[in-house]
Structure 1
Amino acid sequence: MSHAISQLDEPILVEDNLLRVGEVLPFFQLVNHALEDITLESFQGKRKILHFFPGIDTPASADSVRRLDALGKTLPNTIILNISPDLPFTMTRFAEAEHLVNSINLSSLRGRDMFKNYGVLIMSSKLAGLPARALMVADENDMVLHVELVDDLTREPDFEAALKSLMAH
């Protein structure tokens, strides 16, 4: 069984092991702007917002990254991770052009298993292999406080619901 989302009313199936509130974030290894391997342990003791998206070159992804970066200024002890299959260079160019400094862009260049492990891997459509648009919030101990798998790839996540879960803990 899998989760169903859509892209402009075209059905898309997503991996069925989406993390749930109360679970602990599983290990991941991704790549930063300097092609260094970054793991979950790199953010130990910080609250986390994990923002998954298929690629920065779509309006909804670009808008979400901008919006989260702006929120990053106001969230103490919280790290915002923008996670996509884009090359680190692509994400760096975007961040520099947009003057984004309050979030971290990570590439699945050497960590595509994260999409499957976190339950956001698109399994059908022309986008198979990419992550669905999702937002996850975790506390300092990596316990999941909020999970949203956005029901249409062209829409942004519900940032207010994510922030509420973060502020409640």
Structure 2
Amino acid sequence: MIMSHAISLLDEPILVEDNLPRVGEVLPFFQLVNHSLEDITLESFQGKRKILHFFPGIDTPASADSVRRLDALAETLPNIAILNISPDLPFTMSRFCETEQLRHSTNLSTLRGRDMIKNYGVLIMSSKLAGLPARALMVADENDKVLHVELVEDLTSEPDFAAALKSLTGH
């Protein structure tokens, strides 16, 4: 039986598959695609603290703003990997980041690796956006242990960056 969690898109209910990693667990394996169409795995970021930022696509104001904010945050935090994860083609994300002059985060596409969306519990199961990832933020330490998980309640809202930062810094 598949469990689900309800979120919304401007008051329209959306069901998301409910198997988010829990605080204290280890992040599941993933393999995604970077800007050069290379396969990238979780192991590529071994030894770094991580913020995984899931979103349905860069062409929405909340997604674009979140990517900008996280890139600025990455510049201020040592030993951090900010992973922006979406179904956007690598070329689309590269073009956005080049235009915005974002250089401190890593953009990964689910082009090859769509199972990650399901494995990380962010798969939208209902609505016109079914099959895309919900907006979520996950924080993990250098050993991939989950420190913070947030499934954003409305797709048009940004995650709670302060709570994510607090899980990394302790204050």
- Residue aligned with 1:50, SS: strand
- In the TM superposition, structure 1's runs of 4+ consecutive aligned residues that sit over 3 Å from their partners are none
Task: Structure 2: state its 5+ residue gaps.
Answer: none
Aligned to 2:56: 54
Task: Structure 1: state its 5+ residue gaps.
Answer: none
Alignment of 1:20 onto 2:22? yes
**Counterpart amino acid of residue 124 in structure 1:** S
Aligned to 1:82: 84
Aligned to 1:63: 65
Q: 2:139 aligns with which of 117, 137, 140?
A: 137
**What TM-score results when the alignment is normalised by the length of structure 2?**
0.98
- Residue aligned with 2:76, SS: coil
Note the alpha carbon deviations across 1:27-74, whole angstroms, 9 max, x for none: 000000000000000000000000000000000000000000000111
- Residue aligned with 1:166, SS: helix
Aligned to 1:11: 13
Q: 2:119 aligns with which of 114, 117, 120?
A: 117
**Counterpart amino acid of residue 106 in structure 1:** L
- Residue aligned with 1:135, SS: strand
**What TM-score results when the alignment is normalised by the length of structure 1?**
0.99
Query: What's the C-alpha RMSD, in Å, of the aligned pairs?
Result: 0.8
Shift of 1:168: 2.1
- Residue aligned with 1:82, SS: strand
**Counterpart amino acid of residue 64 in structure 2:** A
